[in-house]
Structure 1
Amino acid sequence: MGSTHFTKSVLTVIAVITPLAIGITTGYSEIGVAICFGAFWCNPSDVHGSLKHKVYGILFSAALVMVVSFIGGYLHYSPWLSVIILGVVSFAISMISAYGFRASLISFSGLLALVISFAHTPDQLKIYEFSLLVGLGGMWYLALSLLWYKINPKGQTEEVLYETIGNTGKLLKKRGKLIGKKANRKKLKKSLFLLQSELTEQHNTLREILILSRKNSGISVYNGKRVLVLAQLIEMLENAGANPVNYLKMDEQFQGYPEFAKLFQHIISEMAEQLQMIAVIGNKPTKIPNHNKLKTLFNDLDSKIQELGDIKDAQAYEAFIMFHNFLEYQEKQFDKIKRIKWLLSDHDVASEEFIDKEILKHFLISQDYSPRILLRNLSFRSTIFRHSLRMAITLMIGFVLGNLFSFQNAYWILLTIILIMRPNYGLTKARSKDRTVGTIIGGLIATVIVFLVQDVYAYAILALISFVIALSMLQKNYKASAIYVTLSIVFIYGILQPDVMTVIQYRILDTLLGAVLSYLGFLFLWPSWSFQEIRKDVVKSVEANRTYLSEIANFYIHKGNVPTSYRLARKNAFLETSNLSSAFQRMTQEPHSKQKNLNEIYQLVELNHNFLSSLASWSIYIQHHTTTEASERLNNIITKIDENLESVLKMLSIDAADKQVINLDEVISFEKQLPKFQSEEVNLSADDSHKYKRNHQEEQLIWEQLRWLYSLSVNMMKLTSSL
């Protein structure tokens, strides 16, 4: 109830009902309806992000719906000319989506305005007057949105921040389940890929909200603290994927010492629960959990690992080194959690601790609004172009069928199409199903209520409640939202006309036809299948990992402070790997006949994740420890790994896909020559001082990671050569 989705839905209802009520009571109902439409159509572009982007989004929506309602006002004079105008205008509006997520919502506002133009023709107002009032409605919604922002400026930030903290807790919990040999590891990894993608998106949203707020208003203690919390959460995402070695190697050690697997799982689970507890309590510093339980768990585990290190046995010593390294990763997570708790409490933060906003600006993902973007997408190679053409033709078919068979409300067919049809198959299919099921369930519930209740005032109250719930659930649960949308429409018609059962019948028929047209439209009108696009996502992910590898190697060689380019490379590596996971997830939702090379693509996705995880392990270690000088042999291995990645990129390029030949004998020969940490060769009777063990920890971790990175890069080469 306290979410921004709910408050936004209440705000929308106020923006819609107020001008409508004033218009009806003063005898200017058409003016009220026009302002009401303008406010409602601008609602979709009001999404999470900076205030500046929110204002620009609503302003562009207001301008677009004003122009579209002007064009739509003339669509009633010639039905067949209307079909052509509908197709051209809907195509043009859909192409706006080429400019990113917020632009796609502005595009949706324009499509809504276009479709509703078929349902409403002003009688007393001239078309240009109606259009101007629609634009005024957009300004009215913007004014309300800004007023709410002034009343509750922290609401959006708090919601996204605590959702991110909660999801970070979920990520840790899932990571903990990977420890030890698990039969469902493949399933766990798939869910981790999705959760990591969601977290990466939330990090980007928080960056935009917090960094642009600081940019516009200078240093704020509140924002400064939240930026520092975000920095901890980003590093926790990196730490979460870090392991001192690959999972197979860890499995061997945990199999020999199973009690340590349970101890590590217990610690990770407790850290996850504390994060989720913080997410639930929200901004209540006094209820933040203390560190006592985690301190005890860490002390107990550390003691047991030290006992293992005292055993004069090669296998035990190797396990000691590995467990000690893994413990240090968990201690880094604990440090981040302690820092988050401290920042969310009432403690003061010195101004010098705040991150320089000039540095922060580099981490924002800026959207290019150049006309070149639109021109570049005017091609059948563009997913947006094909989607726009598909949308236009499907709307034209829906319009013709609605008029040929005299549907009671033909525009409902068009509304269903723009609500369901999306650029990818999986989402279009899911929305078709959810919309249909939701409408049928909503229709059945409405039928029962209409039989039992015969009171227009009750209908008005139920319509209002249903509408608020429908809007608040739109992003979270589309099927439930469709149920409440149907209820609100039926109750509104119940007030306006006595034959409600006919309305329910046509509502279901129109939705079914719109859903079928959307689904068939995607299948037969220039469909965009993921196997045609995923190669680009793999390339971007490999390139980002390669850049991150280069930055880590440079830092390891030259030491000193962590440069901004290093952190940017890390951000891009996680972002592109997350995008690759999302692309693969879309591929799994498509028909089996279109899932070409699915197993190989999954292996590539997993290899990229493992490569990033290994980079993160190395990165964290060298950031928090004083390391030895980089040897010439280490530089040679890094060069070889980089060359392997370069070969992968060459093979993924269309022109060279069939020209690259791998010399496997040479690759295997080099891999055999790679140094390996041998616990049997360690002189266990020597002075086992802290420095002595620390050198072995570095040796074990660095060389194991380099061997693992080389092996992963070779496997990528083999896979891409076979695709």
Structure 2
Amino acid sequence: MNYLDEFKKFISSHYLYTGVRLTLGAVIPCLIFHHYGILNNLIAFPLGTLLIGTTDNPGPVHRRRNSLMIAIVTCFVVACVTGFLRHIHFVSFIEIILFGMFFSLVGVYGNRANSIGLISLLVFVFNIDDHISREMVLHNALVFSAGGIWYLILFLVLQKIRPYKLIQQLLGENFVELGKLLSVKAGYYFAKPDYDELFNQMIHQQVILRENHETLREILFKTRQIVSESTNTSRILMLMFLDSVDLMERILNSQQNYSNLHRAFDDTKILRLFGTYISWLAAELLQIGLAVQGGFPSKPKHDLDEAFNKCQLAFDKIRERRMTHDNVEDFIMLRQILNSIQDITERIKKLHRATAYDVDLSKDYKPNVETDDFITKQEYSPRILLDNLSFKSSHFRHAFRVTLALIIGFLSSLFFDVGHGYWILLTIVTIMKPAFSITQQRNIYRIGGTVLGAFFGFMTLYLVKDDTVIFVIMMLAMIGAYSFLKINYFVASTGITLYVLLWFNFLNPQHITAVLQDRVIDTVIGSIIAYFVSSYVLPVWEHTQIKQYMKEALDANRKYFDNVSIIFTGVSLNIGELKLHRKEAIIAMANLSDNFQRMLSEPKKQQVKMEEHHQFVATSHMLTSYIASLSTYAQTVGQSYLSEEFKPMIRQIDRQFETAIKVIEGEQHIGNEVIKESLPQNQKLIELLTVRKKEIKEMGIEKSAQSPARKALSDFKTINGLFELISTITIDEIKILNKISDEV
């Protein structure tokens, strides 16, 4: 890892931008109130700014604006209801049940609704405690809402001033992550690659990219200023995003049989040369990402044309020296890699130009797809909520766990002498998530971050006596807390604890020791409650959900394959449908991988059939890659290689997909005689291969290199080989699914 590049990426990221915006939005009003001596009466104002601000997830402007307005109204109602009724304990229990269930269950409507539900629960927790007098309930609710309105105004003003800033930040991050994906790919070409580790890194990067692409699609395709009223800047941003999606496909479809590659060429330097050059291309993508984030033109770090020419020259030399009619297939594979590298090089050179917002690039650009088809549509029908009122729903089970944990936490705050009892409930709300693995991780991070933050807070107050210095430290802690809230909960928890303690020191320095002790004790109590409830009360283990993700991956790959393969039978290409099915296949693959990664964090006894599930994830990754490779040929030379002999191959592969789906649904168990079925031989390929070998034998490598048969054989063999690989992979998946069903 290059820490300097990671630091540059963070400095220009939307995470730091968000942390600074939230911090200044909360602190500037505090300074004004302090100047006029009214801060103590208006302390709910910055709290409203911070809490409402955390619901502001990246997305289209109108959705961000609407979610902020809904959050302000919802939190005002919750604050009033809770504040006026909190002295009646049995009513408080009813509120815990109603609010706990409803605001946890609204997660069925997506991340934005889930954020509003979480903040509403936090407002409920803040107001259920007796630290606010009854006379101040309405006053505090209004002040809290005013803080939220202030953040809304701040957001709208900044959006007006810099309308493309968030898109640039997310798009830049996208290119940085693409660079990391390509860097992982380079690892396959160096000596003695660790295939399992490289595969896990590939999966991790694809999950990150999938989330990034979904957010960017929503913003770009739903922003009027970009789609309908486009400017040069907006067209370039759209162009770069679509190019990045194509580039990701190109990286994925460069999948090869790396064991055979190393067997054939490990005694030469060509694989290491390819790996080094791919690493250079990854570094170029990093430069492009940082430039897009920062809003400045990128400058190439290397002379790509010269470097690629060296790769081309090395290939030509080794082909001239070593290729025979017996190993021609190995050199076809090497040629495919060189072609992929050349394509990626040209795309990166184009992206370098795009960072300067070159008008020539954008003037002829027109999207050739229906953008609405590429956005995940979120329905908000009440029927969705009602359909989830069942213990079969993972959302309902999560809501039930949260509610039960809140009840236990509330009882603990009543029966035990803790100074800030609502911190127990606060810990429960922020830690508990639908997935056990995430809850467990956040639990550890919350305790560790709280203890570390408390230590830093104590040392700051013990060693530093200058209020100005303490205030600066508090500001930095706030910025760090809200910058890392979405990417590293341990750092965020440390920052939150540190700035909360320093804030209390300014408000009431006489009781800071008690506050520090309460913070640690209440956090530990809340964490213990969250751990036991999430572990033993209706837990949802990942192995119970993985079959659904496996089926979705199979369905998506089957549709992707069907859409791509029919082009080789003479059906015209529909680029919009092709890209839509590609998107769905990549999303399904990332979701499956994400589910498997979460399973790895669960207790060992819940890691059921891990080896088989890992094999299925790996084969699904390869399957999508091979279909993406076939898609590349379909779009470039598909109409030139039409063959009736592809039709029975396509039908057989489609039957294999259907069989795999039936196995996963429990409808069918396939015997070995079906699994051993192989694709019919392609007679046209056999003829071309015979002609090519004869040319090499009679004419030699140099003269026969210009033969039309060379290009035809290379393309046709690759296409046929991809059909064979796809068939082999689907059969492997049937075998894996049979093993899984045998062990149930």
TM-score higher than 0.5:
yes
Superposition deviation, residue 123 in structure 1:
4.2
Q: Which residue of 2 aligns with 1:253?
A: 264
Q: Which residue of 2 aligns with 1:618?
A: 630
Superposition deviation, residue 454 in structure 1:
4.3
1:662 maps onto 2:670 in alignment: yes
Map 1:640-655 onto structure 2 (within 5 A): 640-653=652-665
More deviation in 6-15 or 16-25? Answer: 16-25
Note if contact 2:409-2:425 (Cα within 8 Å) is conserved in structure 1: yes
More deviation in 625-634 or 387-396? Answer: 625-634
Question: Which one of 6, 15, 19 corresponds to residue 9 of structure 1?
Answer: 19
Q: Which residue of 2 aligns with 1:504?
A: 516
**1:248–1:455 Cα change, 3 Å:** closer
Residues of 2 paired with 1:25 and 1:698: CA distance? 75
Note if contact 2:649-2:679 (Cα within 8 Å) is conserved in structure 1: no
Give the residue type in structure 1 aligned to 2:547.
Answer: R
Residues of 1 paired with 2:553 and 2:364: CA distance? 33
Q: Which residue of 2 aligns with 1:412?
A: 423
Q: Which residue of 1 aligns with 2:716?
A: 699
1:319 maps onto 2:330 in alignment: yes
Note if contact 1:215-1:357 (Cα within 8 Å) is conserved in structure 2: no
**1:120–1:278 Cα change, 3 Å:** farther
- Aligned-residue Cα RMSD (Å) equals 2.5
Note if contact 2:55-2:119 (Cα within 8 Å) is conserved in structure 1: yes
Q: Which residue of 1 aligns with 2:7?
A: none
Question: Which one of 70, 80, 83 corresponds to residue 93 of structure 2?
Answer: 83
Q: Which residue of 2 aligns with 1:95?
A: 105
Note if contact 1:438-1:483 (Cα within 8 Å) is conserved in structure 2: yes
Superposition deviation, residue 29 in structure 1:
5.6
Q: Which residue of 1 aligns with 2:172?
A: 162
Note if contact 2:22-2:50 (Cα within 8 Å) is conserved in structure 1: yes
Note if contact 2:369-2:576 (Cα within 8 Å) is conserved in structure 1: no
Residues of 2 paired with 1:159 and 1:342: CA distance? 18
**1:371–1:249 Cα change, 3 Å:** farther
**1:180–1:499 Cα change, 3 Å:** closer
Superposition deviation, residue 131 in structure 1:
3.4
More deviation in 498-507 or 665-674? Answer: 665-674
Note if contact 2:656-2:731 (Cα within 8 Å) is conserved in structure 1: yes
1:636 maps onto 2:648 in alignment: yes
Q: 2:281 aligns to what SS in structure 1?
A: helix
Q: Which residue of 1 aligns with 2:8?
A: none
- Residue by residue over 1:580-603, the C-alpha shift from the partner in whole angstroms, topping out at 9 and shown as x without a partner, is 111110111111100111111111
Question: Which one of 617, 630, 640 corresponds to residue 605 of structure 1?
Answer: 617
Residues of 2 paired with 1:266 and 1:86: CA distance? 59
Note if contact 2:649-2:680 (Cα within 8 Å) is conserved in structure 1: no
1:331 maps onto 2:342 in alignment: yes
Q: 2:517 aligns to what SS in structure 1?
A: helix
Note if contact 2:299-2:352 (Cα within 8 Å) is conserved in structure 1: yes
TM-score, normalised to structure 2's length? Answer: 0.91
- Residue by residue over 1:614-657, the C-alpha shift from the partner in whole angstroms, topping out at 9 and shown as x without a partner, is 1111111232236534323211111111111111111111xxx1
1:515 maps onto 2:515 in alignment: no
**1:447–1:128 Cα change, 3 Å:** closer
Q: Which residue of 1 aligns with 2:49?
A: 39
Note if contact 1:30-1:124 (Cα within 8 Å) is conserved in structure 2: no
TM-score, normalised to structure 1's length? Answer: 0.93
Superposition deviation, residue 287 in structure 1:
4.4
Residues of 1 paired with 2:134 and 2:421: CA distance? 24
Q: 2:678 aligns to what SS in structure 1?
A: helix
Quick one: percent identity of the two aligned structures?
Answer: 25
- Matched residues, number: 717
Question: Which one of 565, 586, 604 corresponds to residue 577 of structure 2?
Answer: 565
Note if contact 2:12-2:169 (Cα within 8 Å) is conserved in structure 1: no
Map 1:296-445 onto structure 2 (within 5 A): 296-310=306-320, 313-349=324-360, 353-356=364-367, 359-445=370-456
Q: Which residue of 1 aligns with 2:592?
A: 580
Q: 1:353 aligns to what SS in structure 2?
A: coil
1:718 maps onto 2:728 in alignment: no
Q: Which residue of 2 aligns with 1:191?
A: 201
Q: 1:315 aligns to what SS in structure 2?
A: coil
1:224 maps onto 2:235 in alignment: yes
Map 1:101-140 onto structure 2 (within 5 A): 101-119=111-129, 122-123=132-133, 125=135, 127-128=137-138, 130-140=140-150
Q: Which residue of 2 aligns with 1:53?
A: 63
Note if contact 2:86-2:129 (Cα within 8 Å) is conserved in structure 1: no
Q: Which residue of 2 aligns with 1:73?
A: 83
Residues of 1 paired with 2:182 and 2:679: CA distance? 33
More deviation in 691-700 or 540-549? Answer: 691-700
**1:591–1:639 Cα change, 3 Å:** same
Residues of 2 paired with 1:688 and 1:155: CA distance? 51
Q: Which residue of 2 aligns with 1:463?
A: 474
Note if contact 1:459-1:494 (Cα within 8 Å) is conserved in structure 2: no
- Residue by residue over 1:504-557, the C-alpha shift from the partner in whole angstroms, topping out at 9 and shown as x without a partner, is 122111111111111111001111100011111111111010000011012232
- Residue by residue over 1:194-236, the C-alpha shift from the partner in whole angstroms, topping out at 9 and shown as x without a partner, is 1011111111212222222245751121111011111111111
Superposition deviation, residue 262 in structure 1:
1.3
**1:352–1:642 Cα change, 3 Å:** farther
* Unaligned runs of at least 5 residues, structure 2: 1-10
Note if contact 1:459-1:492 (Cα within 8 Å) is conserved in structure 2: no
Residues of 1 paired with 2:504 and 2:258: CA distance? 60
More deviation in 558-567 or 470-479? Answer: 558-567
Residues of 2 paired with 1:628 and 1:7: CA distance? 51
Q: 1:499 aligns to what SS in structure 2?
A: helix
Question: Which one of 222, 243, 252 corresponds to residue 241 of structure 1?
Answer: 252
Note if contact 2:250-2:628 (Cα within 8 Å) is conserved in structure 1: yes
Question: Which one of 201, 213, 225 corresponds to residue 203 of structure 1?
Answer: 213
Residues of 1 paired with 2:116 and 2:377: CA distance? 18
Superposition deviation, residue 674 in structure 1:
6.7
Give the residue type in structure 2 aligned to 1:413.
Answer: I
Superposition deviation, residue 689 in structure 1:
3.0
Superposition deviation, residue 28 in structure 1:
6.0
Give the residue type in structure 1 aligned to 2:340.
Answer: Y
Q: Which residue of 2 aligns with 1:553?
A: 565
Residues of 2 paired with 1:285 and 1:561: CA distance? 38
* Unaligned runs of at least 5 residues, structure 1: none
Residues of 1 paired with 2:99 and 2:255: CA distance? 57
Question: Which one of 482, 491, 505 corresponds to residue 480 of structure 1?
Answer: 491
Q: Which residue of 1 aligns with 2:283?
A: 273
Q: 1:182 aligns to what SS in structure 2?
A: coil
Note if contact 1:23-1:29 (Cα within 8 Å) is conserved in structure 2: yes
More deviation in 242-251 or 422-431? Answer: 242-251
More deviation in 62-71 or 406-415? Answer: 62-71
Note if contact 1:308-1:317 (Cα within 8 Å) is conserved in structure 2: no
**1:18–1:123 Cα change, 3 Å:** farther
